Amino acid sequence: MNPAAPSGGVSGSVSAAAQTAAHPALQVIAVCNRKGGAGKTTTAVNLAAEMAALGWRVLLLDLDSQGHCAVGLGVKVQAREPTAHAIFSNPQASLLDAVRDTAFAGLALAPADQLFEHGSGLRDELLLARALAEPAFAERFDLVIVDTPPSLDVLLLNALSAAHWVLVPFVPHPLSFEGVRQLMRVLFKVMSKQNPGLKLLGFLPMMSADHIRQHRSTTGDMARQFGAPRVLAGIRNDIKLAEAFALGQPTRNYAPSSRGAQDYAALALCLSQLLTP
């Protein structure tokens, strides 16, 4: 598959738009929410697996030092092995060294360093953009999905500066809605400065249940504030998502007929059509 990246320009820095000009095949999605527990990692792992199943060559890049992407894919990260965080503490490190294959066809992982302290390391907000601009990434991958930390630090800013698209999972709850509003303020700053080509894929309701009044109310608030077309079809509450994660498998492999697997498959198909001209 060779999807084209969205157009966009940037002045005076290496950002996602600069990557697009050099390597039009590679696209980068940052999965973000300022609030923890919003389903970011569940979404990053399952969306990556579903996009790979559709034929995309996918790299899942974990910037959250909890390191749960490796858990969700059954990957054991040994001490002193290269990780995605190495580029933030060592100017000589190569992100490519952290990339490893998984047991799932078309899906590679750059795991997190669980010992990395958020707020530490180099303060350059364009480190990740420059790392992904290496030609080898565009040659090997069509899509990079970045699982971001919930904190507002240089790692999140790096992810947003390197991304073409932002996907925002949220739990339909007032606290999660406030976390989204905080994130949007950060997004607008990044879009106006270091990455004008950054675009919003949409808001993804997690553990969605239309029969719960609060879920309907919060999702309605999102639609009114940010526009109904930006609120995507939700991921329904499904224990199979947690069971699959605990066993180190995407839900499509563990329980392909489950609600969770069906919802992520539908999301991947929708996004694949959007990302492909």
pLDDT in tens, 133-164: 999 999 999 999 999 998 888 999 999 999 99
21 pLDDT band (50/70/90 cuts)?
very low
**87: which residues sit within 8 A by CB, 6+ positions away?**
93, 94, 95, 127, 128, 131
pLDDT in tens, 173-214: 766 777 788 888 899 999 998 899 999 999 999 976 565 666
Highest mean pLDDT among 35-49, 55-69, 143-157, 215-229: 55-69
CA distance 15 to 187: 14
- Would you list the domain boundaries of the chain? 16-275
Based on C-alpha coordinates, what's the Rg of the chain? 17
pLDDT at 22 over 70: no
pLDDT at 117 over 90: no
Averaged over 245-258, what is the pLDDT? Answer: 97
228 pLDDT band (50/70/90 cuts)?
confident
> Which CATH class, in words, describes the domain spanning 16-275?
alpha beta
Q: Is 226 helix (H, G, I), strand (E, B) or coil?
A: helix
- The rounded mean pLDDT for the chain is 86
Averaged over 34-43, what is the pLDDT? Answer: 86
What does the pLDDT read at residue 1?
A: 53
Angle CA 2–28–215, to nearest 5: 115
pLDDT higher at 127 or 175 = 127
- CA 160 centroid distance within chain: 10
Averaged over 80-96, what is the pLDDT? Answer: 94
Least confident of 160-169, 172-181, 214-223: 214-223
How does DSSP classify residue 24? Answer: T
pLDDT at 67 over 60: yes
18 pLDDT band (50/70/90 cuts)?
very low
Report the interhelical angle of 174-192 vs 213-226 (nearest 10°).
20
